[in-house]
Amino acid sequence: MLPSIIAIDGPAASGKSTIGALLAEKLGYVYFDTGVMYRVVTCVALQRDISIADERAVTQLAEQTKIDFLPPAINDGRQFTILADGRDITWDIRSRAVDGNVSPVSAYAGVRRAMSAQQRRIGLQGRVVMVGRDIGTVVLPEADLKIYLDATEHERAQRRFLERVARGEQVEFDAVLRDIKRRDEIDSSRSVAPLKQADDAIYLDSTGVDISHVLERVMDIIEERASRPFHNLQSEIINLK
């Protein structure tokens, strides 16, 4: 019996979005990257000159903005097309400005309430791979299988740096590393739904490990536990190397 709800949490650039998308495709499940929703709110706020420090205004924006996830509309490497009030902002949400402001936005209680309600509704439909930072701990604590995917700060910064360079951005590695460290600190220390490993999540360190190998190991975990009651699983640390 395969897990119906799979939660993958982890810090920025840990590889969870890539693994989540590949895993969902392999299983024939819905892939849902919840972090994208906070990026959309951040991006729209910046574009509308709404101060990120204005919690009330940002929360109101989160409650009013219509966010749609659609199949890729353009063959430009995107995993999906993201619309905010009908406008395609798929790549806008990956800008450095959004990277530098999304953590404060995602820490606002009102924003998290607005996003979490939508996330939970989608997740409970089942046959879903949901990716984020608080899926296994807050959004879907009843998930059948929880994975916490991690990597060193340097590794994650390198991945994000190469991502941006591939998109033609002019960026320095040290600046990307600073952003990663800052985001880790904010995500882990916020009072509302902080980033942390769920007690019954399986910990995977992807540092120096090829994505295909990580995916293979996750599939092994699913197959190994397909006949076991997932809610009785204990936290494990698995060495991928």
Q: Three-state SS across the chain?
A: CCCCEEEEECCCCCCHHHHHHHHHHHHCCEEEECHHHHHHHHHHHHHCCCCCCCHHHHHHHHHHCCEEEECCCCCCCCCCEEEECCEECCCHHHCHHHHHHHHHHHHCHHHHHHHHHHHHHHHCCCCEEEEECCHHHHHCCCCCEEEEEECCHHHHHHHHHHHHHHCCCCCCHHHHHHHHHHHHHHHHHCCCCCCCCCCCCEEEECCCCCHHHHHHHHHHHHHHCCCCCHHHCCCEEECCC
Confidence of residue 238 (pLDDT cuts 50, 70, 90): low
Q: What is the mean pLDDT of the chain?
A: 91
Percentage of the residues of the chain whose pLDDT score is greater than 90: 71
Residue 231 in this model has a pLDDT that exceeds 60: no
pLDDT of amino acid 237: 65
For the ranges 70-74, 182-186, 208-212, which has the lowest average pLDDT? Answer: 70-74
Look up the CATH number of the domain holding residue 26.
3.40.50.300
Domain range holding 207? 5-238
- Please count the structural domains in the chain: 1
pLDDT tens digit sequence for 105-156: 998 999 999 999 888 988 998 999 999 999 999 999 999 999 999 999 999 9
